Amino acid sequence: MRNGRPVTAREPLPSSGQGLTGMRERVRALGGTLVAGPDGEGGWLLSATLPAPPAPPPPLPAPYPAEPAVQTPEGATR
């Protein structure tokens, strides 16, 4: 995410100071990385990289169909 340079100067918002720290902790807990800081053009850059979950296993092949029932000459089914 990139925020460009603000059009006008703004007063900083009051903050507890845990925003980026909290984001880093959450991203790290998921096995990822977070980079945040000035973008060199007067804006701000925030980038999080998270590992993708493993792909699900392929489905099992369908079982062979049951053999069709066969009637004997006596009328029994086997």
pLDDT for residue 75: 67
pTM: 0.49
Give the CA diameter of the chain: 97
pLDDT for residue 10: 66
> What does the block give as tokens for 34?
């977070």
Residue ranges for the chain with pLDDT beneath 50? none
CB distance 48 to 30 below 8 Å: no
